[in-house]
Structure 1
Amino acid sequence: MNYKPGGECPSDEQFSQRLMLKGCEPLPRRRCRTRSPAGYGEPTPLPASLWSMPPDTSIMWDAYTCKNYSCLANRSKTKGFYDCKDCFDLLNGREKGRWTRDDGALSYSIDAVLATKPNGTVRIGLDIGGGSGTFAARMQERGVTVVTTSMNFDGPFNSFIASRGLVPMHLSIANRLPFFDGTLDIVHSMHVLSHWIPDVMLEFALFDIYRVLRPGGLFWLDHFFCLGTQMNTTYVPMFNQIGFNKVRWNARRKLDRGIKMNEWYLSALLEKPTT
C-alpha cells in the first residue's frame, strides 16, 4: 500500500477483512494517521450508552452502504442486508429481550447460566461473533466484562460496540484467539459457530476455545445450526472429543411454519474440566 509517512492513512479495512477471513493476520502497522469523522462529539456516558443509539458523527461511513444509524436500525427493510438484520435496533427490536428469558430448551438466560457457577466467579469472558454487542451489554449489567469479536460486514459493528462502552475486537473465527491459556471464565457464541464453517476450521476453533478457558470455565454454544444428517455423524463426535463436560444440552428440529424440517439447532452449556 502506498502512503506518505506521517500523512493521512488510506483505508485498509476491506482489504484487511478479506485477509482475516482467510486466516491471515491483520495488516502490519503503518506510520500514518487515520482520519477522524467530521463533527465528532463525546460519547454517551455509561450506563445510558449500553442502550443508546450513537450520533452519526461518531464514525466514518465511507466503506458502508448505510450512511447513518437510522439506516442500520432498519436493515431488515433494506435490500441487500442479510447479516444481523435487526441487531442495530436497540430501542424497538428484539435486542432488548435477548438472553433475559430461559425456555428450558434452546434459549438459555444469562441469569440461569451464571447460576451454574458460584456467585461472582464468572468475571471475564468472550463473545465470538457478537453482532452489535448486546450479549456483552447484558453481562456488563451483571458485573461481567466481555470482549466481543465482530467483523464489519457492510456495517460498522466494531464502532457500534465501542459506542456502547463495550470492548470490540475485529477478529475472524479463522484467527487464533489472542488470549493466554486458561484465562477466561466464559466464552459464548450464537449462530456464528455452525455447519457453514469447514469441519477442520471448526475443530481448530473449538480447541482454541478450550485453550483460553480456565479450568471450570464455561463454553455457551448458543443455537448451533446444522442439517439433521450431520448432528450425530459429525458434530456430536466432534464436541465429545474436545473434552468438555456437559452442564446443559438441548437439541431441537427447526420448525418452519409449523412443519419440522431436517435441520437442527443445538444449544449447550459446556464446562472445561478442572483436572
Structure 2
Amino acid sequence: MPTIDQDSATNATAQALRLARRQRQELRRQLPASIGRRNATVLEHLGLAHHASAHQWRRGGGERDELLQEATLGLIAAVDGFDSSRGLKISSYAMSRAHGQVLHFRRDRQATLRIPWRLRDLHAKGQRIQENSLNTNGCLLDDQTLARRLNVTPDRWRQAVEAAWQQPVLSLDGPAQNCDPDEAERVSRLDRLAAIELEQPDPALDWLGEALMTIPPVQRRWLLAYYLEGRPLRTLAASEGVHPSMLSRVLKKTLAQLKTMAQGTSDSMEAAPIANKAATAV
C-alpha cells in the first residue's frame, strides 16, 4: 500500500512532467525572446495562480476556471513588473498580484448587475457601524442617524441599501429556496406569485403586515428576506455586508419582538390566536 510520502512524490513527479511538456510547447512557438522568457517564468510559477484561485474560491465561491484565469493574469502582470534588484522573491510579489486581480474581478466584473463601487463601499461602512452599534448598544441605528454618522444624505444611504439589496439575481423559473427539499415537485417563484394572488384575505397576515411596519426598516428587510423569501443566511449576510452571526442575532431578536407583540394582543380573545399564528408563521 503506498504511503503518504510516496503519493506526494508521485504528484510532484506528475506536476514536473506537465511543466516540462508545457515548456517544450512554449519553446516551439515563434515568439520574441523577451516574451519567451516571461512565459517560461510564468509556467514555472503557475502553481501560485492555482493556490491563489483556490484560496479565493474557498473565501467567496464563484467559477473556479474564471478565478484561475484572473489569478493567472495577475501572475503574468507580476512577472512583467517584477524588479529583482529589490532583493525580494518573485513568489511574494506574484501572490499579492494574483489575489488582487481576483479581488478586482469580483468587485468589477463578476456580478451580473454592476453596482458603483462608491455605493458598495458606503453600504459596507454602514453595515460595520450597524454591527458596532448592535454589539455595543444592543440595537440598530435608524436610517437618519446612520446617514449622519456616514456624513451622507438619507437618500444617498437608501440608494446604497437598494443597490446592495438588488444585486443578487434570482431566476423566476427556478425553485423557491424555502420549499421543502423532500417535495417531489419543486415550486417555481412564478407559481408561488400566482398562488399568492389567488389566496383569500387572511386576518393573520393583515396583523403581521401592521406589526412589521413597527419594526425598523433594516430589521424588517432582513426578516422578510430570510423567512418569507427563503434566502440562505450566508447569502443574505454577504449581500448585506454583515457577518452571518450578527445577522442571526438580529433575526432572532426581531422574531422575539414579534412574538412579544403577539402575546400583547391576548387581551382580546379573538386577536390572540390571530397574532400568535402570524408571529409563529414568519
Question: When the two structures are superposed, what TM-score results if normalisation uses the length of structure 1?
Answer: 0.28
Q: Per residue, is there more helix in 1 or in 2?
A: 2
Name the larger-Rg structure: 2
Asked which structure has the greater RCO (Cα within 8 Å, sep 6+), the reply is 1
TM-score by length of 2: 0.28
